[in-house]
Amino acid sequence: MTSDRDPIQILIDEFRRLPGIGSKSAQRLVFYLLKEADEASNQLAEAILGLKAGLQLCSQCNNVTDKNPCRLCQDPNRDPKTICVVEEPFNVLSIEKSGGYRGRYHVLHGVISPINGVGPEDLKLKNLLERLADETVEEIIVATNPTAEGEATALYLSRLIKPLGLKVSRIASGIPVGSDIEYADSVTLSTALAGRRSL
Amino acid sequence: MTSDRDPIQILIDEFRRLPGIGSKSAQRLVFYLLKEADEASNQLAEAILGLKAGLQLCSQCNNVTDKNPCRLCQDPNRDPKTICVVEEPFNVLSIEKSGGYRGRYHVLHGVISPINGVGPEDLKLKNLLERLADETVEEIIVATNPTAEGEATALYLSRLIKPLGLKVSRIASGIPVGSDIEYADSVTLSTALAGRRSL
């Protein structure tokens, strides 16, 4: 049946199931690719095929990578004294883009969420504890999302790691830079007030 | 150099060059594909590769198609007495989706645009005239965009085709259905007034 379908419609349907792409965007993408040179659209297809071909989780930080250990774990210029703990691999990318962090990472691949049946045993904590046994680590920055699940995970990690004599910190929550106090929701505003720092 | 680059970053860059996809959307798409089963992302890649593999222009209507003549030209249920002339292949898709037309199509692959150096000789008019020589055609609906170039093309077609004794019509311009007269621009509003029809 597939062979009889229109190749244009097949690709429109494929694009449409991706997040954030509706039927008009999908149509636009397909006709853009149609006008393009063959090599350019083949490059896109090869990049998709190549995405998972060589990818694995880094044995140290659990980030998705094509090399083990990953580029970030191998980079000698990164500070081995701090580990930033995040929920998902794409959080690493966001923090890297911000340029505000030069230490190591650890990806949990989830957060504690009793409602979804996710407990601490489902998170990638085993190799985190192994890394902490190493004497060079001094501080753990918990950068899970400021949601109920993210906070619960942060609390759990803090109780787990503090007894080992390490510093555990949490990224700041508050009013986003450039936004207006007037439009901040009340939980964010009270968090920002509670988290005030002296000038 | 390519082989040393991160496959995730390669695909992010590939998605980013597509229209309407910024760096955050590209990142989101890549991590969505990463979480998906391998077969699903391979299907997407194959649909991209398959897009141009068997595609050609229909010898009758110039629409992009994997069969010649295309499905629309072959469909015996479509009225051969009207031909709707459009600028680009994706216009056919939009009109088909509207469900308001059951005749044939003809794709010009462009519009007359002296500024861009596009004259009537650059449009796919030759096989349109051949089709008009066929006695079954009675009406040509010019569905080029209501822009300066689209209107010029419509005028050109009308002068070319009317002497052949065929009816030439133009799709209506006016206030979009469901929108508000208050927000219509003045050119659209005066076009809508000029194009009023009796009730």
- DSSP codes, A82-112: EEEEESSHHHHHHHHHHT---EEEEE-SS--
Query: Which CATH code, of 3.40.1360.10, 3.10.129.10, 2.60.40.10, 3.40.630.10, is assigned to B77-170?
Result: 3.40.1360.10
Q: Is A180 in contact with A192 (CB distance < 8 Å)?
A: no
Q: To 10 degrees, the CA torsion angle through A59, A61, A65, A67?
A: -50
Which DSSP letter does residue A140 get?
A: E
Q: Binning pLDDT at 50, 70 and 90, where does residue B19 land?
A: very high
Share in percent of chain A as helix, strand, coil (round to 5): 50, 15, 35
Q: Which of B20, B30, B46 sits opposite A51 (nearest CB)?
A: B30
pLDDT tens profile B85-109:
999 998 998 888 888 889 999 999 9
| Interchain pair B7, A38: CB under 8 A | no
Question: Across the strands, what pairs with B84?
Answer: B105, B141
Ramachandran area for residue B57 (φ above 0: left; ψ -120 to 50: alpha; else beta): beta
| Interchain pair A42, B49: CB under 8 A | yes
Interface of B with A in 84-143 (CB under 8 A): 88-90, 93
- For chain B, give every residue range classified as CATH 3.40.1360.10: 77-170
H or E stretch including A52?
A: helix A38-53
Interface of B with A in 35-54 (CB under 8 A): 38, 41-54
Contacts of residue B99, defined as CB under 8 A and 6 or more positions apart, other chains included, come to none
Contact status of A18 with chain B (Cβ, < 8 Å): yes
Contact status of B14 with chain A (Cβ, < 8 Å): yes
Residue type, A91: N
pLDDT for res B2: 42
- For chain B, give every residue range classified as CATH 1.10.8.420: 7-53
CB contacts of A19 in chain B (<8 Å) are 28-29, 32
ipTM above 0.85 for this complex: no
Mean pLDDT, range B147-160, rounded to an integer: 92
| Interchain pair A20, B29: CB under 8 A | yes
Mutate to test the interface with A, among B8, B12, B16, B56 (most CBs of A within 10 A): B8
Interface contacts (A, B; CB < 8 Å): 127
Q: Considering only CA atoms, which of A132, A173, A166, A129 is closest in space to residue A150?
A: A173
pLDDT tens profile A91-128:
998 888 888 889 999 999 999 999 999 999 999 999 99
Share in percent of chain B as helix, strand, coil (round to 5): 50, 15, 35
Residue recorded with tokens 């393009």: A36
As a whole number of angstroms, the distance between CA A52 and CA B41 comes to 9
Q: Which of B20, B50, B88 sits opposite A10 (nearest CB)?
A: B50
Contact status of A71 with chain B (Cβ, < 8 Å): yes
Q: What angle do CA A163, A164, A166 make, to 5 degrees?
A: 100
Altogether, the residues listed in chain A come to a count of: 199
CB contacts of B18 in chain A (<8 Å) are 29, 32-33, 44
Q: Binning pLDDT at 50, 70 and 90, where does residue A1 land?
A: very low
> Is residue A183 pLDDT above 60, yes or no?
yes
pLDDT tens profile B34-76:
888 888 888 999 989 888 887 889 999 999 988 888 889 999 9
The second-level CATH assignment, the architecture, of B7-53 is: Orthogonal Bundle (1.10)
pTM over 0.80: no
pLDDT for res B107: 95
Altogether, the residues listed in chain B come to a count of: 199
By CA distance, what is A109's nearest residue in B? B35
